[in-house]
Structure 1
């Protein structure tokens, strides 16, 4: 009896909160600001880190933290939103080397208009400015019926299968060597001593792969009944507070509805206009050029 009363109380409270939120959204100039923490995990052992000391691993992970742990701000109203990384002062030396190069693959400001199905992204890539303009990708969401509490919000779970961008390095993984044919492996071992003096160092790009599609798991709340979410995620009857895909999880840590100082939601306008596919082709071409450049340099060093 007590359990039944507790469930009825929670259900009633949830619907009252949804009603109150709906009244709030009815305001003509409604706006919300949500802060998200994004974290991408990486297993160094799968990239040769099993031979490193714990101290070395810790040092590398600290250096990579700025790339794989970020804070984003989603500013939204009933139909539009912008999603951008929170500006921070970088640590001395953090902009150079591998981290500086990967900065060219970091998404710029993303704009979504769920009413018109419009997607825009301000993107800088190796010193060139692009404006990615395309239709919003629609995902076939499946409701699971599961619920959980995130802060003060009751959330519901939904899943979908999403096609992975060919150059989405956050989802890259090392190729599964366990599936290689045993005879081929034995042959490689046999020939390794004969060819080592002539072979160039392995190209890292030959060691990785990116899956064709990936499962996305999100938690959304109808207490904020807007069709919005972090990044490219949208299409549910409530704000998405948590999203997980591959090794990346994005979790909302703060929400402010109708802030005192409202920010105008502007469409990005600068840069050469390209579609998502056209931009992907540009990135692929640049990566291939870099492979050839560094591959040629390594072969030259090997000969010397």
Structure 2
């Protein structure tokens, strides 16, 4: 009996691998929740004005939708074009910048990511190598849509504090992509990503769409390294702190 069970499981795994190997491109839409962020802030007894601002931020985030498009070893992740998430222009831009600082282009074959963002009214491509992340893979499971996902945990320093990042990835979709810069490290597509600021959850998944997927990397915008971009940001912080 054990022999037959082993043969059955081996066959099932083989079929899954064959089907997974046929996934060459796709599109994923992510919804955003900032409720955990709001609750943490609310517990600290902030002034009513700050509490109201945090509540407005979390409510606006509910209207945000981000899209991941992938093709073989490349992907692009960005806000849904033309989608406004708040009637207040400043709040719209603020919330969008919290959950995605720009448009993220990933090339796993070259181990490279470009973040297309704006600085002082000018657009830049911020180029960086995909960082090796020491994820802990667990056997904990949950269903997201029709896909069985596994939990992975990452300890990471963010803003000087150690934080726990949680990802739920789907081995059935064997591409190492996910929201923002969480790419290239997990054996499956991230369908849910919990960061300190927000949780990204796949609300719609389209695999091997009929019209296919095309990803065009931007080439007509000035490119700087991640280190240079950080230096420019540090300069701005210094100017603001000095009252300039």
TM-score by length of 1: 0.65
Q: CA contact under 8 A between 1:142 and 1:160: conserved in structure 2?
A: yes
Q: CA contact under 8 A between 1:104 and 1:125: conserved in structure 2?
A: no
CA change 1:254–1:14 in 2 (3 A) is: farther
- Higher mean alpha-carbon deviation, 140-149 vs 77-86, is at 140-149
Please state if 1:248 is matched with 2:242. Answer: no
CA distance in 1, matches of 2:11, 2:198: 32
Number of the residue aligned with 1:281: 231
Q: CA RMSD in A?
A: 3.1
- Consecutive unaligned residues of structure 2, counting only runs of 5 or more, are 1-5
CA distance in 2, matches of 1:23, 1:138: 24
Please give the secondary structure, in 2, of the residue aligned with 1:283. Answer: helix
Alignment of 1:25-174 (within 5 A): 25=23, 30-40=24-34, 41-42=37-38, 43-46=41-44, 48-49=46-47, 52=48, 57=51, 61-62=55-56, 65-66=59-60, 70-87=64-81, 88-89=83-84, 91-92=86-87, 94-96=88-90, 100=93, 106-164=100-158
Q: CA contact under 8 A between 1:38 and 1:249: conserved in structure 2?
A: yes
Please give the secondary structure, in 1, of the residue aligned with 2:44. Answer: helix
Q: Alpha-carbon deviations, 1:23-60, whole Å to 9, x = none? A: 522xxxx31001112223222453623xx39xx95576
Q: CA contact under 8 A between 1:82 and 1:110: conserved in structure 2?
A: yes
Q: CA contact under 8 A between 2:33 and 2:61: conserved in structure 1?
A: no
Q: CA contact under 8 A between 2:28 and 2:69: conserved in structure 1?
A: yes
Please state if 1:265 is matched with 2:207. Answer: no
TM-score by length of 2: 0.80
CA change 1:45–1:216 in 2 (3 A) is: closer
- Consecutive unaligned residues of structure 1, counting only runs of 5 or more, are 1-7, 165-209, 297-304
Instruction: Please state which structure has a larger fraction of its residues in helix.
Output: 1
CA distance in 2, matches of 1:231, 1:101: 16
Number of the residue aligned with 2:175: 226
CA change 1:228–1:150 in 2 (3 A) is: same
Q: Alpha-carbon deviations, 1:226-279, whole Å to 9, x = none? A: 122221112122111111122421111111011122331121334332122221
Number of the residue aligned with 1:207: none
CA change 1:260–1:155 in 2 (3 A) is: same
Instruction: Please state which structure has a larger fraction of its residues in strand.
Output: 2
Number of the residue aligned with 2:3: none
Higher alpha-carbon Rg: 1
CA change 1:99–1:288 in 2 (3 A) is: farther
CA change 1:44–1:114 in 2 (3 A) is: same
Number of the residue aligned with 1:217: 166
